[in-house]
Amino acid sequence: MTDMASLPVQLSEAPATPAAARARFFNSGNAFNVKLPPVPAAEFSAVAAAALAPEAMTGVHLCNQSAAIGCAFPATTPLILARYAVIRAGDVLNLDTQSTGLIGYVLRGAGEAPGFGWGAGDVLLLPGGAVTLRAHENAVLWLVGNEPLLAFEGLRPGATAMAPVHFPADEIERQLALIGACTSNDSTAGLALIFSSDGLEAWRNLTASMTLSLNTLPPRENQRAHRHNAAAITLVLQGENCHSRIAGETRPWSLYNTLVTPPGEPHSHHNGGDVQARFLIVQDGGLHYHARTMGFAFLE
């Protein structure tokens, strides 16, 4: 007798229409053994160095590990794509991303987007689809979008594009000082600033599927080990002698590098230097909050 698990995919015996011919059948023995490559705990220092090099020309440098995770489209994690955008002074970069929106951080330089100007240290939310960025001086931006999610579903950005949102660097500093003067309790995951907008205030997200936080870590202190089901993409902004521990392995930090924390892996962050560490974290957390599957837990 044949075991269900050994059956190959089954087709209709005598399909009467093309729609019926497209039908495929699995069973409870072979439908749930899909094996996909795990998300590596990656880093993209070479990509960052290429984008930040003085001779870098206007263009986009992807943090792409699609081959490692078995995606047929560019991806940093299965649902998120990070990149560095270089814009030379006086140049225009025309982006046309198949994303809902792009979360951005200005690493250097200054310029303008439709409706506002931006400068070093600013956080941005740009609409997906076509958007134009102009640089007044040599600029590098870190941009993260959900193109892999839309590509997986075979979708394109809708006609109702997200409105741009601008978080100037001086206002970010004011907000950090405000929360730094507050007390916290054992359930608080460090001192972090969470970015949202008027349209998603109730969800506390920056896009429907993506969250953005600016995390800090005092000198000579560690963040407790924890886990969550959202994948995390981290941009290192500040710190000396800092590293992360991900699934038992040490991952050293370097300035403006992009790091990946795989979903579900235990991890912690460590500041061995004498200055406050700062790091931006984008997660596909909006999806997990909506599905009630975030699964955040401290491990110590």
Q: Are residues 59 and 145 in the same domain?
A: yes
Using one digit for the tens of pLDDT, what is the confidence trace for 142-173?
999 999 999 988 877 765 568 899 999 999 99
Q: Are residues 92 and 173 in the same domain?
A: no
Within a domain: 35: no
Within a domain: 37: no
Within a domain: 14: no
Within a domain: 288: yes
Average pLDDT over residues 111-129: 95
Does 219 have pLDDT greater than 80? yes
- Domain residues for the domain of 155 are 45-166
Within a domain: 32: no
Q: Which residue, of 138, 166, 194, is where some domain finishes?
A: 166
Site of tokens 């002698």: 241
Phi-psi region of 204 (alpha: psi -120 to 50; beta: other; left: phi over 0): left
Q: Are residues 155 and 176 in the same domain?
A: no
Q: Are residues 80 and 58 in the same domain?
A: yes
Within a domain: 31: no
Model pLDDT, residue 221? 94
Under 8 Å CB-to-CB from 282, ≥6 apart: which residues? Answer: 80, 82, 103, 144, 210, 211, 212, 232, 233
Q: Which residue, of 144, 166, 188, is where some domain finishes?
A: 166
Site of tokens 């600016």: 214
Does 24 have pLDDT greater than 80? yes
Q: Which residue has the higher pLDDT, 1 or 17?
A: 17
Q: Are residues 221 and 291 in the same domain?
A: yes
Q: Are residues 92 and 153 in the same domain?
A: yes
**Structure token pair of residue 143:** 């941009």
Q: Are residues 162 and 176 in the same domain?
A: no
The domain total for the chain is: 2
Model pLDDT, residue 158? 63
Amino acid at 89: A
Distance CA 53, CA 250 (A): 27
Within a domain: 240: yes
Does 104 have pLDDT greater than 60? yes
DSSP code of residue 185: -
Q: Are residues 128 and 241 in the same domain?
A: no
Model pLDDT, residue 106? 98
Q: What is the pTM of this model?
A: 0.91
Q: Are residues 239 and 136 in the same domain?
A: no
Question: With bands split at pLDDT 50, 70 and 90, how would you rate the model's confidence at 6?
Answer: confident
SS3 47: helix
Distance CA 57, CA 55 (A): 6
Model pLDDT, residue 162? 80
Cβ atoms of 162 and 100 closer than 8 Å: yes
Q: Half-sphere exposure (CA, 13 Å, Cβ side) for 5?
A: 4
Model pLDDT, residue 204? 87
Within a domain: 63: yes
Distance CA 82, CA 79 (A): 10
Q: Half-sphere exposure (CA, 13 Å, Cβ side) for 87?
A: 29
What is the average pLDDT score of the chain? 92
Model pLDDT, residue 160? 55
The CATH number assigned to the domain holding 200 equals: 2.60.120.10
Q: Which residue, of 166, 193, 219, is where some domain finishes?
A: 166
Q: Are residues 178 and 288 in the same domain?
A: yes
Q: Are residues 155 and 190 in the same domain?
A: no
Distance CA 80, CA 64 (A): 10
Does 188 have pLDDT greater than 90? no
Q: Are residues 180 and 162 in the same domain?
A: no
Site of tokens 């912690």: 268
